[in-house]
Amino acid sequence: MTNTLEFKSSFINNSEKKTALDTEGRDLLARPRFSLRLHLLLVFILFSFLSMAIIIGSVIAISSIDKKMHFVQTSERYLFEIAQARRWEKNYFLYDTNLEDAVQSAGNAKTFLSQNLKKFITVLSAEETAGMIEHLEKYRSLLQDLQDLTVLKKNGIENTEKKNKIETSLRKHGAEMVKVAAALVYKEQNSMNAMLHLIQRIPIYCFAVVLLLTIFLARFLVKRLIRPLNLLIESTQRIAKGDFSPVPPICKYRGEFTAVEVAINQMCRELKSREVAMVESHKLRAIGTLTAGVAHELNNPLNNIMLTAHAMLEDHNNLSEDGLLEMINDLINEADKSRSIIRNLLDFSRESESVSEPLDLGALVGETIKLTLNQAKVSGVKIETQIQPDLPRIRGDKQQLKQVFLNLILNALDAVEKEGNIKINVKKADSPKFLAVQVEDNGCGIPSHILPNIFDPFFTTKGPGKGTGLGLSVSHGIITMHRGQISIETEEGKYTRFTVTLPFRTVPAVLNKT
């Protein structure tokens, strides 16, 4: 009950404190609370109960042994009294003395028995007790008879026959009486011994149980502590690699780790938004690189338009109709050229949300190459393109993928010297259901010691102000998001080959052509 109350109040607190919490965070916090503190408390309570049970058990066992000891003493006393009576009885028959004492002892036994009747009844059955009492009563009455005979004898009346008869009966009941009492003592002693034996063993059993329980609980607690920690470590490693999806709930219930999860999720969200900003800034940088090429590209048609317009202005009187038409057509064509250049640049720089659509990978790569052709022309680099025909379509974000291939081609352009060669290949990958795009240059290659870092954000080999160090990192992120892979083969001074593999759709391409 207290749990639910606590859960409610802290939920309200949390939601007041962090109004900006996302849905995952709220889901995480909305689970019933079962914290580590509660775990420890439960374990502690369990152990307290256990030790209390052990203590109570021992007290009960010891007090029952105490009782048994008392009972054994009692029965021994009883046995002593009747044994005494029997000794006096024997003396009487042998030497004719001590009959009074025998009667006295039997009386003592009787008194003692009736005093402790309750104790006897708890140990013996009612019939046994009744039998005991009966034998004692009989014995006593026989002794009484014997006393009467003795009185008669003093008065001169001898009744040997009766005396003998009494003697036989007396012996029989006496023996029976002693036998029952001795058996009782023996039985009680045995039971007491058994109990003592048990009590000696109890600490060992308890120790074993406590040990097993401790091991089990320790393992349980460690699992509750270590498993979430390991999961968190895994998550952080995953995040370090650029996967910013939220952490899955690591425990079934809400606890101390929930706060960590919520914090990590918040961090992921921040990182994600920063990454978007980083990608944007990288895009701007790439646009800067492209601008040099684009400006040249754009100035050409502009120049043509200008020259043509001026020619028309100067010579419009002397121009033939054909000459005029030619110039007008030139104007239109050059204006068209400018438009398509600007459209290409805008396509790349347009702020766009990630949209997944069926794409013709070959065409997409072709468009990207077009963007870089001028840059290549300036650096005197030859770009060879091989696109396998009739490839199945892939699904993905056109702008993002264009950016990846643009990054790879611009990198290749940076890597090659003048008169270098870039080969671009679009084909089916070795693994089924994947397409591969290879961008290979015969440039400087990548030294093996920096190879592990090339996908790291902000890692760049270019001079200050030349590269953001984000190109490959961003490309890697984009390709991973498309469930593809990006790999690299390189030999220093010889070549570098980037291979991007992307899964294609299994639906026949014909159906997608709409």
Asked whether position 329 contacts another protein by CB under 8 A, the answer is no
Shortest approach of another protein to residue 418 CB, angstroms? 10
From the list 158, 270, 315, 417, which residue makes contact with another protein (rule: CB under 8 A)? 315
Q: Tokens 């079962």 label which residue?
A: 34
Report yes or no: 13 and 259 within 8 Å, Cβ to Cβ.
Answer: no
Asked whether position 297 contacts another protein by CB under 8 A, the answer is yes
486 φ, ψ (degrees, to nearest 5): -125, 125
Shortest approach of another protein to residue 368 CB, angstroms? 20
Q: Tokens 């984000």 label which residue?
A: 470
Report yes or no: 168 and 216 within 8 Å, Cβ to Cβ.
Answer: no
Shortest approach of another protein to residue 286 CB, angstroms? 17
Question: DSSP assignment of 59-75, as one string?
Answer: HHHHHHHHHHHHHHHHH
Which of 276, 239, 220, 309 minimizes the C-alpha distance to 474? 276
Rounded Cα–Cα distance for residues 289 and 407 (Å)? 11
Considering beta carbons, is residue 422 or 429 the nearer one to another protein? 422
Looking at 26-34, 77-85, 94-102, 297-305, which segment touches another protein (CB under 8 A)? 297-305
Asked whether position 289 contacts another protein by CB under 8 A, the answer is no
Asked whether position 336 contacts another protein by CB under 8 A, the answer is no
Shortest approach of another protein to residue 495 CB, angstroms? 23
Residue 419, SS3?
Answer: coil
Shortest approach of another protein to residue 494 CB, angstroms? 25
> Which tokens belong to 214?
């401790």
484 φ, ψ (degrees, to nearest 5): -110, -175
Q: Which residues between 377 and 396 bind another protein (CB under 8 A)?
A: 377-378, 380
Asked whether position 302 contacts another protein by CB under 8 A, the answer is yes
| Strand duo 421-428 + 382-387: pairing | parallel
469 φ, ψ (degrees, to nearest 5): 75, 15
Q: Tokens 């091989």 label which residue?
A: 386
From the list 147, 308, 349, 453, which residue makes contact with another protein (rule: CB under 8 A)? 308
In DSSP terms, which residues pair with 396 in a beta bridge? 357
Q: Tokens 């307290």 label which residue?
A: 48
Considering beta carbons, is residue 142 or 422 the nearer one to another protein? 422
Interaction mask 86-125, another protein, x per CB under 8 A: ----------------------------------------
Shortest approach of another protein to residue 301 CB, angstroms? 9
Considering beta carbons, is residue 255 or 293 the nearer one to another protein? 293
Shortest approach of another protein to residue 300 CB, angstroms? 6
**Burial readout 29-62 (b: 16 or more C-beta within 10 A, e: otherwise):** bebebbbeeebeeebeeeeeeeeeebeeeeeeee
Residues contacting 23, CB < 8 A, separation 6+: none
Q: Tokens 């606590």 label which residue?
A: 6
SS3 sequence, 218-231? Answer: HHHHHHHHHHHHHH
Shortest approach of another protein to residue 363 CB, angstroms? 25
| Interface size with another protein, residues (CB under 8 A) | 23
Shortest approach of another protein to residue 314 CB, angstroms? 7
Considering beta carbons, is residue 326 or 491 the nearer one to another protein? 326
From the list 29, 166, 250, 305, which residue makes contact with another protein (rule: CB under 8 A)? 305
Using alpha carbons only, give the angle 59, 65, 69 rounded to the nearest 5 degrees.
145
Report yes or no: 191 and 150 within 8 Å, Cβ to Cβ.
Answer: no
From the list 175, 295, 450, 507, which residue makes contact with another protein (rule: CB under 8 A)? 295
R_g over Cα of the chain:
53
Shortest approach of another protein to residue 470 CB, angstroms? 25
Looking at 48-56, 233-241, 298-306, 404-412, which segment touches another protein (CB under 8 A)? 298-306
> Which tokens belong to 136?
């004692």
Interaction mask 29-68, another protein, x per CB under 8 A: ----------------------------------------
Rounded Cα–Cα distance for residues 292 and 5 (Å)? 67
Asked whether position 428 contacts another protein by CB under 8 A, the answer is no
Residue 122, SS3?
Answer: helix
From the list 292, 332, 335, 507, which residue makes contact with another protein (rule: CB under 8 A)? 292
Rounded Cα–Cα distance for residues 333 and 300 (Å)? 12
Considering beta carbons, is residue 171 or 337 the nearer one to another protein? 337
Looking at 9-17, 19-27, 159-167, 372-380, which segment touches another protein (CB under 8 A)? 372-380
> Which tokens belong to 114?
């009736």
Shortest approach of another protein to residue 293 CB, angstroms? 8
Interaction mask 243-282, another protein, x per CB under 8 A: ----------------------------------------
Considering beta carbons, is residue 215 or 295 the nearer one to another protein? 295
Q: Residue 239 carries which side chain, given as an amino acid letter?
A: I
From the list 330, 360, 414, 441, which residue makes contact with another protein (rule: CB under 8 A)? 330
Report yes or no: 281 and 351 within 8 Å, Cβ to Cβ.
Answer: no
Q: What residue ranges bind another protein (CB under 8 A)? A: 292-293, 295-297, 299-300, 302-308, 310-311, 314-315, 330, 334, 377-378, 380
